[in-house]
Amino acid sequence: MQIFFILAIPIFLAAGAFLIGKQKIFCTLNAIGYLAVLVASVMLLRKMVLSESANSYFSFIYFDALSAFFIFVISVIAFAAALYSISYIKKDIDSGVISERKAKIYYILFNLFCFSMLLVPAVNNLGMLWVAIEMTTLISAFLVGFYNNKESIEAAWKYIIICSVGIIFALLGTILFSYAFSLLGDVKSLNWSDMVANAGRMDKNILKIAFIFILVGYGTKAGLAPMHTWLPDAHSQAVAPISALLSGVLLKTAIYAILRFGIITIKGVGFAYFGNLMVLLGIISLAISCGFILVQKDLKRLLAYHSIEHIGIISIGFGIGGILGVGGALLHVFNHAVTKALMFFGAGNVVNKYRTHNMHVIRGVIGTMPFTGFMLLMGAFALAGMPPFSIFISEILIICAVFLKGYYLVTFLLLGFIAIIFGAVVHHFSKILFGSIPKGMSVVKEPLSGKMAFLFLFVQICALGIVLPFIKKDLIWMVQKLFQG
Amino acid sequence: MQAIILFGVLASTYLMVIAKRTPALIRYFRYQSFFLFLATFAVAIEERQIDLYIIAGLLFVIKVCAIPYFLNRIIKRMKVSEDLGLFVNAQLSLLCVLGFTYLSWVFAERILAPRNEAQAIMLAVAFFVVLAGMFLMVFRMTALAQIIGLLVMENGLFLLASTVSGGMPFFVEIAIFFDVFVSVIIMGFFVYRINKLFTHIDVNKLSRLKG
């Protein structure tokens, strides 16, 4: 039942944004709406974990523990972004960067974007899954090109073209999956639940080819290297709350799609095929992002390359499998989303204040914006994987899983890249956070709603670093069962 | 009948690859979509299914009429050069694409295990159209050519879907049509923006964001 609330609230809010003229009233209403979505998603997750079964409605909506988990992650970040938007959009209106009317468009698009992302984990039909993911691209392209200057339009164009081509390959993969299914001669269906039940009897060669297309297609959207080229452009040019959503959860919805097809592939051809491909792409992503992080000059692009790194780690985790691998990867999905959202909010504040993305120019953030500076400092360490923050826990789980499986070369590469990236992050952020304050910069007071968004995320980063809320038959155990052949 | 339609699809794709100007490209795209429409319509008459009639109708309205009209209007309103900007000249393009034709035949015959010769040919043509669309996207420089390349890829997928599994479920097919239509409109909107800000639509020169 909660699923209908979760899907309906963003639609109503989009309509509300269209109808309500006063921005001041609506932005608060928006945040309250997403709080409701968050509460509903927690209830949904709880129900799914306790009941240990899958639910479906009219064979259109289908969800199990895996879907409920992704819906939960999306609603956490959507709530934080809605909260942060209040102060961010107000500042943009006050400084004359955007008009009131443009702010209205922003809120309509924001809600439609959240709706399309929440729809992805809820649908059963793999064709509709494709449509929902394409919808996220089309809507967010406007949010990437929102400021309508040369850079943002270029970024939006690359984003929409590269992701559309990628998604065409995903559709090709989907058609091949349905072909493999139709060869069985039972029923004509694109439903995931039907396919997974018959996966063992499908033609192995076609499944293999089809999964490659899926991996290339949705991998483009997920930002897996070498199909990642749109990602740094789009993330650096989007409005700050949207950057957080793009990096925090949009990439994860594409990972979710890969996992759904991956589960069919595992049941059909065995785990090794799926696992090796995921690990390979993960290592390539780590290697490429590592190089770009070292030489990066642009603050938001730096964070974007971090997303590629973490998507690589997640994909390695799922590729290794088992309770440690899948568990670590699931936790990493959540931890990376929260941490990256915090960092993009911080970067948004910094860019607003200094009016540049260039890290050679930004100096002394701790001095000019004590609160944001402190949060960025903590977030940078969390992002790099320092204990006691949450990313450390999920990374160590994945590293253990890789090591225990006997992939020593992968362990070595993983540890090496993480160490190099750690150094690069500390170097870049110490430069911009400390140092003398540039002339003419004054200390600013930060609005409460912005601070609330930071604190909301920061509490989760710390909490999951210290306590792992596991019970005996829990979420992770249930999800990793899905990945068994 | 089916052979003629497939031949038409193939021929219009080759014509697209050697086209040098945008209006010609759009015209050949219209031919290709028209042949797809004929193919769907023929199946619809054979199987007497109302769903297939609706899909054929949508194909005609959206891909044969609306999208080419919309793209032509963009060209007229923007007054940009109609030259496509070929990275690879027409002869070499044709050679590459002939190579693709052979590759897709090998792929269709060896890997996909088709039921009979006719299905193998259809699979090969469908894959070839997808590859040709990708070729257009990569080796033509204007933003409009990229949109058309994407549409050609989508046409190939439509053919593939109708070949291998008798089409997608009805409402998925409708959703995909809607999606394609909306994405073309949105891309057209961005082409306007690019033209306004940069005063050209040569995507090869969009290189402000790097590293």
Confidence of residue A155 (pLDDT cuts 50, 70, 90): very high
Token pair belonging to B194: 């690019």
Q: Does B193 contact A153 at a Cβ distance shorter than 8 Å?
A: yes
> What is the per-residue pLDDT for A23?
78
Question: Domain of A189?
Answer: 2-482
Question: In chain A, positions 230-259, which contact chain B (CB-CB < 8 Å)?
Answer: 232-233, 236-237
Question: In chain B, positions 60-99, which contact chain A (CB-CB < 8 Å)?
Answer: none
- Sign of the C-alpha dihedral, residues B141, B144, B146, B148? negative
> What is the per-residue pLDDT for A24?
80
Smallest Cα–Cα separation from A120: which of A136, A104, A109? A136
Query: A209 touching B, CB under 8 A?
Result: yes
> What is the per-residue pLDDT for A64?
86
Which residues make Cβ contacts (< 8 Å) with residue A208, sequence separation at least 6?
Answer: A265, A269, A273
pLDDT mean over B176-193: 89
> What is the per-residue pLDDT for B174?
85
Q: What is the percentage of chain A residues whose pLDDT exceeds 90?
A: 64
Q: Which residues of B touch A190 (CB under 8 A)?
A: 168-169, 172
| pLDDT for A472 beyond 90 | no
Question: In chain A, positions 14-33, which contact chain B (CB-CB < 8 Å)?
Answer: none
- DSSP string of A137-175, one letter each residue: HHHHHHHHTTT-SHHHHHHHHHHHHHHHHHHHHHHHHHH
Q: Which residues of B touch A127 (CB under 8 A)?
A: 168-169, 172, 175-176
> What is the per-residue pLDDT for A471?
52
Query: A184 touching B, CB under 8 A?
Result: no
Per the listing, tokens 């992770």 go with A476
Cα angle A429-A433-A434, degrees, rounded to a multiple of 5: 115
Token pair belonging to B10: 């193939």
Token pair belonging to A415: 């540890």
Query: B185 touching A, CB under 8 A?
Result: no
| pLDDT for A326 beyond 80 | yes
> What is the per-residue pLDDT for B165?
67
CA–CA min distance B78, chain A (Å): 17
| Calpha distance A483→B85 (Å, rounded) | 48
Taking every pair of C-alpha atoms in chain A, what is the biggest distance, in angstroms? 74
Question: In chain A, positions 72-131, which contact chain B (CB-CB < 8 Å)?
Answer: 125, 127-128, 130-131
Buried b (16+ CB within 10 A) or exposed e, B127-147: bbbbbbbbbbbebbbbbbbbb
> What is the per-residue pLDDT for B30?
94
Indicate the range of A103-112, A302-311, B6-15, B73-82 predicted with least confidence.
B73-82
> What is the per-residue pLDDT for A473?
58
Q: Which of B193, B199, B202 to mutate to test the interface with A (most CBs of A within 10 A)?
A: B193
- Sign of the C-alpha dihedral, residues A269, A271, A275, A276? negative
CA–CA min distance B208, chain A (Å): 6
> What is the per-residue pLDDT for A160?
93
Confidence of residue B167 (pLDDT cuts 50, 70, 90): low
Question: Which of A22-26, A89-93, A475-479 holds the top average pLDDT?
Answer: A89-93
Confidence of residue A259 (pLDDT cuts 50, 70, 90): very high
Query: Which residue type, as a one-letter code, is found at position A292?
Result: F
For residue A1, give Cα distances in angstroms to A9, A44, A114, B127, B187: 13, 8, 19, 43, 37
Which residues make Cβ contacts (< 8 Å) with residue A353, sequence separation at least 6?
Answer: A368, A369, A441, A444
What DSSP designation does A63 have?
E
Cα A19–chain centre separation:
30
Buried b (16+ CB within 10 A) or exposed e, A161-178: bbbbbbbbbbbbbbbbbb
| Calpha distance A370→A172 (Å, rounded) | 51
Query: A382 touching B, CB under 8 A?
Result: no
| Calpha distance A335→A106 (Å, rounded) | 27
| Calpha distance A468→B68 (Å, rounded) | 57
Q: Does B150 contact A164 at a Cβ distance shorter than 8 Å?
A: yes
pLDDT mean over A217-245: 92
Confidence of residue B34 (pLDDT cuts 50, 70, 90): very high
> What is the per-residue pLDDT for A308?
95
- Closest chain B residue to the Cα of A173, Cα to Cα: B157
CA–CA min distance B198, chain A (Å): 7
| Calpha distance B160→B131 (Å, rounded) | 12
Helical (H) or strand (E) element with A485: none
- DSSP string of A181-200, one letter each residue: HHTT-S----BHHHHHHTGG
CA–CA min distance B173, chain A (Å): 8
pLDDT mean over A314-320: 94
Q: Does B186 contact A206 at a Cβ distance shorter than 8 Å?
A: no
Query: B138 touching A, CB under 8 A?
Result: no
Confidence of residue A469 (pLDDT cuts 50, 70, 90): low
Query: A408 touching B, CB under 8 A?
Result: no
> What is the per-residue pLDDT for B40?
86
Greater pLDDT, A60 or A105? A105
Confidence of residue B100 (pLDDT cuts 50, 70, 90): very high
| Domain count along chain A | 1
| pLDDT for A292 beyond 70 | yes
Confidence of residue A423 (pLDDT cuts 50, 70, 90): very high
Tell me: the pLDDT tens digits for A352-402? 888 888 888 898 889 888 899 999 999 999 999 888 899 999 999 999 999
| pLDDT for A306 beyond 90 | yes
| pLDDT for B81 beyond 80 | no
Q: Which residues of A touch B153 (CB under 8 A)?
A: 165, 168
| Mean of all residue pLDDT scores within chain B | 87
| pLDDT for A125 beyond 70 | yes
Smallest Cα–Cα separation from B158: which of B35, B72, B65, B50? B35
Token pair belonging to A107: 């809120």
CA–CA min distance A331, chain B (Å): 30
Helical (H) or strand (E) element with A98: none
Query: B120 touching A, CB under 8 A?
Result: no
